[in-house]
């Protein structure tokens, strides 16, 4: 079941630090973020406003694709997201610790 996840239950990456920051949670006033090297392989492109998360997940786990590119920039004017269902394609390289300034 992929309830509550737009593109299915996977590891979500963003090409925008602003998008990633939306999900960061503070610990003693500091935030942490991973900078990850990702091997996209064969990418399933999706620009649907309401995608079929189960179909996307299945196409990567059982089908020919390695990840999903959710193009929210095209359909909503926000950010593109990459979703991986196999962590073997991800390599965290850096942990970035930061504070927000307003």
Structurally, how many domains does the chain consist of?
1
pTM over 0.75: yes
Residue 102 lies in a domain: no
* Sheet strands side by side (includes 67-71): 11-14, 80-84, 67-71, 43-46
Residue 4 lies in a domain: no
Calculate mean pLDDT across residues 15-21.
91
Count CA within 13 A, CB hemisphere, residue 10: 29
pLDDT exceeds cutoff 60 at 7: yes
Residue 5 lies in a domain: no
| Per-residue pLDDT at 102 | 84
Residue 1 lies in a domain: no
**Residues counted in the chain:** 102
Confidence of residue 1 (pLDDT cuts 50, 70, 90): very low
Handedness of CA 74, 11, 23, 31 (dihedral sign): negative
Residue 33 lies in a domain: yes
Mean pLDDT of the chain: 92
CA–CA gap between residue 58 and residue 67 (Å, rounded): 11
Instruction: Provide the domain limits for residue 84.
Output: 11-97
């Amino acid at each position: 079941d992929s309830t509550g996840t737009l593109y299915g239950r996977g590891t979500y990456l963003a090409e925008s630090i602003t998008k990633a920051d939306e999900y960061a949670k503070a610990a003693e006033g500091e935030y942490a973020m991973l900078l990850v090297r990702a091997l996209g392989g064969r990418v399933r492109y999706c620009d649907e406003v309401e995608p079929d998360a189960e179909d996307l997940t299945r196409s990567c786990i059982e089908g020919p694709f390695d990840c999903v590119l959710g193009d929210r920039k095209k359909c909503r004017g926000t950010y593109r997201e990459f979703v991986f269902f196999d962590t073997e394609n991800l390599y965290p390289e850096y942990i970035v610790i930061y504070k927000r300034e307003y």
